[in-house]
Structure 1
Amino acid sequence: MLLTTFFVKDSLVKSNVSEAQSNLLNYNSIIANQVAPFISNIDNEYTFKYVDDIIKQNSLEYGARTLVLTTGNQVIVDSYDLLRATSIDNRETDAASTGNDISNIYVYGDEYLLYAAVPIIDRDDIVGVIFTSMEANYIFDDINAFMDKLFIIFSMAILVSIFISMLFADIISKPIERLTVSVKTITQGKYDTKVEIHGNDEIGELGKAFNIMTTKLYQVEERRKKFVSNVSHELRTPMTSMKIVSDTLLSAPNWDEGIYREFMVDINSEIDRLNKIIDSLLYLVRVEKDELELDLSMTYVNYLLEWVIKTLNPIALKKDIQLTLTANNKIQIQLDQEKMQQCLLNIIGNSVKYTPDEGKVWVELEENRDHIIIKVNDTGIGIPEKDLPFIFDRFYRVDEARARKTGGTGLGLSIAQQIIQLHQGTISVTSELGVGTQVAITLPKK
């Protein structure tokens, strides 16, 4: 503020002094023009009286002291009648006697004086000098009064700025403090924490983004807990079965060989199931860690689907299910053949698995300009609408009892979705309970 005040005051002083000097020079020029024709005859009593009246009248009106001098700096007329017939030698009169207009300001103690001098020219000859002096304190008095007001305004502006800054600092800091507390709470594992921040400014947007993040963290944490719980349950089930069978075998010294073999078959089946779960889990982990790379090759999708249907057809025949493929054109795109086989085996296999005896499962292969679409339709039991959003979740089963009976791990659809997403594709499911289900796979051609 002090620096600004200094520059403002300096600028005002220069401007006002320059204006006062210009005005005083104009005043001198006007008087010079009035008295120029009479200077050559100034010794005449009447001429002198006329010039003297002009000088005194103008001096009185302007509030200045005016002198008329010869080119030799001899005072002819003095509006104060004090310096007549004396000599004055200063910068201003010297400059004016050589034909220059000049004005300067001087300081004498606490007084400011403004001097100005112009030549008196009559028929292109310099015949004298008009020299004027006047008190210039008014210039600085006006500036000082203005600066006092400006200082008051600046001081008030600073006080208002401080008040507004403190107010806004409080408005801004409070939400940030709440946000900081919420962050610390989240670090303690409380992922359902929310921060209450209102408004549409940057802080409000930050609060909304934070709440979205905590919601997702909470969802991830819930899925993690559920996943750990499901994995523990899924791994414990075959282990429990094997424990029961082995305890039963150990409970008696002698068992019939047929019973012994039957128990060993059960144990072997549970071991296979356990290996299947572990392999599926490891596969998912590799996918999520981006360690799984696609081995792409140009593949006829028709032949791939025919191979999958041929593989599953024996299972379908056991249930007297019609398993068919409809494909009007041969379609060739870049695929990881092995992974896509696994994906289609899971999806079409599920349709066969959950379709009652004498039902139908039919696969349709279609294409448009940019994509191919594989539709797997069945006349199976269908999926309740409330379960559709969760069928791709790990270990999710619509019917636990039926899943145990069919021997699923609850990971097949999750793996299939990951494979399709690796191919930059999408998978969607529509179903009607008691009518059937359609799974639609969309894959890009390029």
Structure 2
Amino acid sequence: MLVTIFFVKDSLVKSNVSEAQNSLLTFNTIVANQVAPFITNIDNEYTFKYVDELIKQNSLEYGSRTLILNNSNEVLVDSYNVLKGTHLNNVEIENAVNGLKTSNIYIFQKDYLLYAAVPIVDRDNIVGTIFMSIDANNIFDKINKFMDKLFIIFSMAIPVSIFISIWFADIISKPIEKLTVSVKTITLGKYDTKVEIQGSDEIGELGKAFNLMTTKLYQVEERRKKFVSNVSHELRTPMTSMKIVSDTLLSSPNWDEAIYREFMLDINTEIDRLNKIIDSLLYLVRVEKDELELNYSITYVNYLLEWVIKTLNPIAHKKQIKLTLTVNNKIQIHLDQEKMQQCLLNIIGNAVKYTPEEGSVTVELEETYDWIIIKVTDTGIGIPEKDLPFIFDRFYRVDEARARKTGGTGLGLAIAQQIIQLHQGTISVKSELGNGTEVSITLPKK
């Protein structure tokens, strides 16, 4: 506000003084034009008297003091009848003698005076100078009165501004303080922390973003806990089985060889199951660290699907499930054949695994201009709608009891999704409880 007052005053002084100077120079020029024809004959009594009256009348009307000087800077006429016959020397008169119009403002003992001088020109010759001075105090008096009013207004505005600033600071700082407290709470592991959102301004948007972040963190933390729990359970199950079998073997030194072989076979099976879990976990870790590289090669997708169907047919026949492949034409694209085999074995294998006896599993291969589409449709038990968003999560199982019965690590779909994404493709699932499931895999041709 103080800076504003300074610049406003400076601007007003410059504009008002400039206006007064221009006005005085204009009036001075008018008077100079009026007296110009008479200056060369100023020594004549009647001429002098006429010019003197003209000067005094104009000076009275404009409120100025007017002097007429010859080219030697001698005062010929003074509207105050004081300086006649004296010589004057100042910047304005010197400039006028040289043909220039000049006006300046001066201060004498706190009084402001405005000087202006213009040349008197008669028939293209400079025959003298007309010099005017006026009191300029009224200019600054007006400015000072205006500035006093402005200062009063600003003085009243300052406490209002302070009050509004404190009020707004309180409005802004309180949500930030709450947000800070919530952030500190999250650092303690309480990921379900939320902040109260008020308004739709930037702070409100920040609160929404914070709540969204905490929701995601809470979900991630819950999944992490569940993941650790499931991993622990999956690893403990084969370890527990092996422990029971080994304790049983150690409990008696006289087991028959056949029993030893049966128990060792059980231990070997559990070791294979354990290795499968560990391999799957390591595979996912490598994918997440971007350490997994695809070994692309031209692959006939038809033959790849036929190989997978052939591999799974024994399991399908055992459950009397009709496993069919529908292909319209031969399609070849660049794939990592080994990894895509693993992916398809997981997906089609799940369809066979969760389809009841005498059901059917159909695999279709289609193509568009840029994509190939593999659809796996079964008449199985289906997936509840609430579980669909989570089926690609690690160790997620729709029905834990059923999953234990059918076996598996709970990592198959997670690995399948990672492989498809590495191939820059997508996988989606449609399912209805009791009415089967359809899995669609879309892969780019290029």
Question: TM-score category by the smaller chain?
Answer: 0.7 to 0.9
Distance change (3 Å), C-alpha of 1:434 and 1:74:
closer
Farther-moved stretch of structure 1 (148-157 vs 232-241): 148-157
Cα 1:147–1:364 change in 2 (3 A) is same
**1:342 aligns to 2:347 (yes or no):** no
Please, which moves more after superposition, 87-96 or 135-144?
87-96
Which segment drifts farther, 40-49 or 342-351?
Answer: 40-49
Q: Over residues 343-381 of structure 1, what are the superposed CA-to-partner deviations in whole Å (9 max), with x where a residue is unaligned? A: 111222222223333332222111111111112222333
Deviation at 1:221, TM superposition (A): 0.8
Q: What SS class does the counterpart of residue 140 from structure 1 fall into?
A: helix
Residue 305 (structure 2) pairs with residue 305 (structure 1)? yes
Which deviates more, 251-260 or 413-422? 251-260
What is the CA–CA distance in structure 1 between the aligned matches of 2:123 and 2:419, rounded to whole Å?
Answer: 109
Separation in structure 1 between the aligned mates of residue 382 and residue 99 of structure 2, nearest angstrom:
114
Distance across 2 between alignment mates of 1:393 and 1:125: 104
CA separation of 1:66/1:265 partners in 2, compared to 1, >3 Å: closer, same or farther? closer
Matched-pair contact (CA < 8 Å) for 2:75–2:88: no
What residue is the counterpart of 2:24 in the other structure?
Answer: 24
Residue equivalent to 2:353: 353
The 3 A distance-change label for structure 1 pair 299 and 15 is same
In 1, Cα distance between equivalents of 2:69 and 2:379: 126
After the TM superposition, which residues 34-73 of structure 1 pair with which residues of structure 2 at under 5 Å, given as runs?
Answer: 34-39=34-39, 47-71=47-71
- Name 2:88's counterpart in structure 1: 89
- CA distance in 2 between counterparts of 1:319 and 1:178 reads 60
Cα deviations by residue, 1:247-267 (Å, 9 ceiling, x for unpaired)? 334444544544444333333
State the secondary structure of the residue aligned to 2:220. helix
Take 1:388 and 1:302, find their aligned partners in 2: how far apart are those partners? 29
Residue 105 (structure 1) shift: 3.5
1:55-86, CA deviations, whole angstroms, 9 ceiling, x for partnerless residues? Answer: 332222222223445555555544334445x3
Q: Rate the CA distance shift 1:320–1:34 in 2: closer, same or farther, 3 A.
A: closer
1:144 positional shift: 2.8
Structure 2 CA distance for aligned equivalents of residues 400 and 358 of structure 1:
24
Aligned residue for 1:113, secondary structure, equals strand
Q: Can you list the C-alpha shifts for 1:185-221, whole angstroms capped at 9, x where unaligned?
A: 1111111112223333333322222222211111111
Distance in 2 (alpha carbons) for counterparts of 1:97 and 1:378: 112
SS class of match (2:17): helix
Aligned counterparts of 1:432 and 1:71: Cα–Cα separation in 2: 113
| Shift in alpha-carbon separation, 1:50–1:276, aligned structure 2, 3 A | closer
Alpha-carbon offset, residue 417 of structure 1: 1.9
**Residue 331 of structure 1 aligns with which residue?**
331
Pairwise CA distance, 1:131: 3.5
The sequence identity of aligned pairs, in percent, is 82
Change (3 A) 1:425 1:54: same
Aligned counterpart, 1:296: 296
Instruction: Determine whether 1:436 maps to 2:436.
Output: yes
Moved more, 28-37 or 374-383: 28-37
Query: Scaled by the length of structure 2, what TM-score is found?
Result: 0.87
Pairwise mapping of residues 156-235 of structure 1 onto structure 2 (< 5 A)?
162-235=162-235
The 1:212/1:88 distance shift into structure 2, 3 A limit, reads same
Instruction: Tell me: CA distance 1:444–1:384, structure 2 relative to 1, closer, same or farther (3 Å).
Output: same
Per the alignment, do residues 55 and 332 of structure 1 end up closer, same or farther by CA in structure 2, a change over 3 Å counting?
Answer: same
Residues 139, 329 of structure 1: CA spacing in aligned structure 2 closer, same or farther, 3 A cutoff? same
How many residues are paired up? 445
Comparing 119-128 and 165-174, the one that deviates more: 119-128
Uncovered stretches (5+) of structure 2, i.e. residues with no partner: none
> What one-letter code is carried by the residue in structure 2 that aligns with 1:319?
K
Question: Which amino acid counterpart does residue 34 of structure 2 have in structure 1?
Answer: Q
Structure 2 residue identity aligned to 1:110: K
* AA matched with 1:89: L
Q: 1:141 to 1:424 in 2, by over 3 A?
A: same
